[in-house]
Chains A and B, each alone.
Chain A
């Protein structure tokens, strides 16, 4: 057999000229495969370091509200107004044991979702309000301020003034003490497969507010009566 053997290095007339970037491909080909894992690890560590390494990411501070400020989350626009200490408040739906008094928080809540939300229950307003001094204790009762409806539903975009009450041992709080109201945001979860409906869950602290507690003794009415009697006598 005879033929012309073309030397491999010989440039063929129609071959494209080696481009300027050809050296990248040549270098790439020469990297031993075993190095790739190490290189990827190095790149990953470099990127991690560039974003601050494994240090704790800075948590944005929880806003501190003033009394009268409105906190808006996906469920409610909440305006905490005042905190009152009173001997008993059965109108708000709370019963006390002997030796207990009632801490009442008055707030205005407007449902900003598109369905009526209960004030009580794990999806309702009760899950979103805590008193730091009382730990993770939910309000014992929630009632409307105007007509004392217990556990009212909150209709979309209809604000309502509510009274949240906790029974506390006498002496835990006194007139002029400061309490911290903790407002928490819940996340909407849609049920899938065997779970139906929509739920609000996973409360996360979103804002706090320091409030001075006013001790009204036996209650404004009782005080007025006592005053009247005092003036008469």
Chain B
């Protein structure tokens, strides 16, 4: 075999190995959640739960009953129900992803966060996100799921154009209750 051919085959193999590494899915890919992209007022039926985001509001003060706090608040109104079983179906994963950062629904006000869901009888309420003031300029993605650990489970992402929202002075969370419909 000619010397140049040996080198060419060697380099091709090294290049091929690099290519295989590039296209091999990572562990994160292998464990990625199954997304079910939803829109506002559109019901997404995922594994074990169904959710409808009915409204998204932005304000510089959030109010929930006697509780209130200043800041930059995004309040998401939604209806959610379990589809399989009541036991263990909680709205446990509620994050707002913007750029590279993930904001968790605030546990400060009483909200739907970690509320138990019931099959067939939707719950109605809100989630509140406390954000830095400059996040309000872009498009964020709301992620909803019923596992603390979203891996390999269905997850409902919902894009929210924060820039298009008109900030109010005060936004009030809906009282958590049974949905009227």
* A contacts, CB < 8 Å to B: 114-116, 144, 146-147, 149, 152-153, 155-158, 192-193, 196
Contact = CB atoms under 8 A, between A and B. Distances in A.
Interface stretch (B14-22, B38-46, B104-112): B104-112
Contact of A146 (B27, B69, B106, B107): B69
Interface residues of B, number: 20
9 contacts: A114-B101, A114-B102, A146-B69, A152-B107, A153-B107, A155-B104, A155-B130, A192-B27, A196-B151
Contacts of A116: 95, 102-104
A193 B132 CA distance: 35
Nearest to A192: B27
* Closest A-B pairs by Cβ, 7 of them: A116-B104, A157-B132, A114-B101, A156-B101, A149-B108, A115-B102, A155-B103
Contacts of A152: 107-108
B107 A147 contact: no
B31 A149 contact: no
Contacts of B103: 116, 155-156
Interface of B: 27, 31, 67, 69, 71, 95, 100-104, 106-108, 129-132, 149, 151
Dominant secondary structure at the A interface: loop
Contacts of A158: 71, 130-132
Given A114-B100, A114-B101, A155 B106 contact: yes
B28 to A, nearest CB: 9
Contacts of B130: 155, 158
Contacts of A153: 104, 106-107
Nearest to B99: A114
Contacts of B104: 115-116, 153, 155
Nearest to B28: A196
A1 to B, nearest CB: 38
Contact of A156 (B69, B108, B132): B132
A149 B95 CA distance: 19
Contacts of B131: 155, 158
